[in-house]
């Protein structure tokens, strides 16, 4: 079976974990600090704050900006549920804008119409490893005095005009095993804002500035040194992993026929967390079946837009429609692109897709 994802864990990761276990410091300690410093450097920002996962990174970032009941946050309906759920965790309201059908990211020309006096933040999702138009988003945010919290959970190392995902506003990352790098479970917040950094650190650890004095409500979102040790070893390999993803993507770009390959606007660096094609004419599900018979994995990210998820419809009603998102959900298919695929794997995936598409 050619799988959709496979974490690459080598001796570096194993030895780093054993070293931590032998050291006696296994909760949040020096390895977490090292991981935060290295991650901040990778993104080109001043601070990084490690958390337990990408979902808590989003939750913590929203808390740090004091976003709460009555506030609205603008985001994409075409993403993993965590992007929008984090807004619900702080009792704020997600407000969706439709996507650009070419990039699958928020259509920035629709953002201003969605802004109300209650809007506090824009939460762009850098989907599949491609950044949104961050010039447009940052200038709208500046004009309307809004925070920008990037969901960069799929975009480690991705660039827009030479700047990395997570360095525009405050960034949030996931380190789940299927992502471009992993710490088993883990998350990271990146920011240049000293106040946000401080707030994140305090709220991550039960609102505690002074030992056992709790000035505000906090959580336990701390990463362990065991996870950070894996993260450090993976961070050292990220550029190599991403390079391999780009090479795999380039092979598909050059060889796939009859389907729309990912569109990468000039000035963007895609890191292909997913290589997602559009399969026209209602053939997507049949192609997926065909690949499955050849033992080739594929996945639909995402079959149900957030506003169509059951409990969202219960809370917000079912009148809202985002046509490009709903249409994309019927056409998208992500195919294996991860760094441990062999040349033969990639060739088989491409020739199988071409075989299916040429059957008409
Ligand atoms: C993976 C992911 C998350 C959540 O990260 P976890 O580490 O699984 O909590 C959030 N948003 C997006 C877009 C993701 O892909």
- Apex CA 340: angle with CA 339 and CA 343, to 5°? 90
- Domains of the chain, first to last: 11-235 (3.40.640.10), 238-357 (3.90.1150.10)
171 lines ligand 1 (CB under 6 A): no
Q: How far from the centroid of its chain's Cα atoms is residue 221's Cα?
A: 18
Q: Give a three-class secondary structure readout of 184-220.
A: CCCEEEEECCHHHHHHHHHHHECCEEECCEECCCCCE
Pairing, β 187-191 against β 47-51 = antiparallel
Spacing, Cα 258 to ligand 1 middle (Å): 31
Regions of the chain where pLDDT drops below 50: none
Q: Could you tell me if the CB of 82 is within 6 A of ligand 1?
A: yes
Atom of ligand 1 nearest to the CA of 125: 13
Q: What is the DSSP letter of 255?
A: H
Q: Could you tell me if the CB of 51 is within 6 A of ligand 1?
A: no
pLDDT the model gives residue 116: 98
C-alpha dihedral over 180, 183, 185, 189, to 10 degrees? -80
**Residue 72 CA: distances (Å) to CA of 65, 84, 91, 127, 325:** 12, 11, 10, 21, 20
Q: pLDDT at position 175, please?
A: 98
Could you tell me the CA-to-CA distances from 171 to 15, 149, 191, 275 in Å, in that order? 30, 6, 6, 22
Closest atom of ligand 1 to CA, residue 178: 1
Atom from ligand 1 closest to the CA of residue 187 = 7
Nearest CA to ligand 1 atom 14: 153
| Residue 304: predicted pLDDT | 98
For residue 284, the model assigns a pLDDT of 97
pLDDT in tens, 262-299: 999 999 999 999 999 999 999 999 999 999 999 999 99
DSSP three-state, residue 333:
strand
First to last CA, the chain: 26
Q: How far apart are CA 201 and CA 218, in angstroms?
A: 10
Cα–Cα separations (whole angstroms), residue 43 to 87, 119, 132: 24, 27, 16
**Token pair belonging to 279:** 């399969």
Q: Which pLDDT belongs to residue 76?
A: 98
Measured in Å, residue 112 CA sits from the centre of ligand 1 at 26
**pLDDT score recorded for residue 360:** 66
What DSSP letter does each residue of 36-60 carry, written as one string?
Answer: HHHHHHHHT-SEEEEESSHHHHHHH
Separation of CA 150 and ligand 1 centre (Å): 12
User: Which ligand 1 atom lies nearest to the CA of residue 174?
Assistant: 7
Which of 128, 151, 227 to mutate for ligand 1's pocket (most ligand atoms within 8 Å of CB)?
151
| Nearest CA among 211, 208, 232 for reference residue 50 | 232
* Ligand 1 site, residue 39, Cβ cutoff 6 A: no
């Amino acid at each position: 079976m050619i799988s959709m994802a496979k974490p690459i864990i080598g001796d570096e990761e194993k030895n780093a974990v054993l070293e931590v276990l032998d050291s006696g410091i296994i909760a949040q300690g020096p390895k977490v600090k090292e991981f935060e410093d290295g991650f901040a450097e990778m993104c080109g920002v001043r601070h990084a704050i490690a958390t337990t996962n990408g979902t808590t990174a989003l939750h913590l970032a929203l808390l740090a900006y004091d976003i709460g009941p009555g506030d609205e946050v603008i985001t994409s309906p075409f993403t993993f549920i965590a992007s929008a759920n984090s807004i619900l965790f702080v009792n704020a309201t997600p407000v969706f804008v439709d996507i650009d059908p070419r990039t699958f990211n928020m259509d920035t020309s629709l953002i201003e119409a969605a802004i109300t006096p209650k809007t506090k933040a824009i939460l762009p999702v850098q989907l599949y490893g491609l950044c949104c138009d961050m010039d447009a988003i940052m200038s709208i945010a500046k004009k309307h005095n809004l925070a920008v919290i990037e969901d960069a959970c799929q975009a480690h190392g991705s660039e827009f005009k030479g700047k990395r995902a997570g360095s525009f506003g405050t960034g949030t990352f996931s380190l789940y095993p299927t992502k471009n790098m992993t710490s088993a479970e883990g998350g990271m917040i990146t920011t240049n804002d000293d106040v946000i950094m401080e707030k994140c650190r305090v709220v991550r650890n039960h609102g505690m500035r002074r030992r056992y004095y709790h000035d505000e409500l906090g959580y336990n979102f701390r990463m362990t040194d065991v996870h950070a040790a894996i993260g450090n070893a993976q961070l050292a390999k990220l550029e190599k992993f991403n390079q391999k993803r780009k090479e795999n993507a380039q092979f598909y770009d050059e060889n796939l026929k009859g389907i729309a390959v990912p569109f990468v606007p000039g000035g963007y660096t895609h890191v292909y967390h997913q290589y997602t094609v559009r399969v026209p004419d209602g053939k997507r599900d049949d192609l997926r079946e065909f690949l499955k018979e050849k033992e080739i994995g594929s996945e639909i990210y995402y079959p149900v837009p957030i506003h169509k998820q059951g409990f969202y419809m219960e809370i917000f009603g079912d009148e809202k429609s985002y046509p490009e998102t709903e249409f994309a959900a019927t056409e998208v298919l992500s195919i294996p692109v991860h760094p441990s695929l062999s040349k033969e794997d990639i060739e088989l995936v491409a020739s199988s897709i071409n075989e299916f598409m040429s059957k008409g």
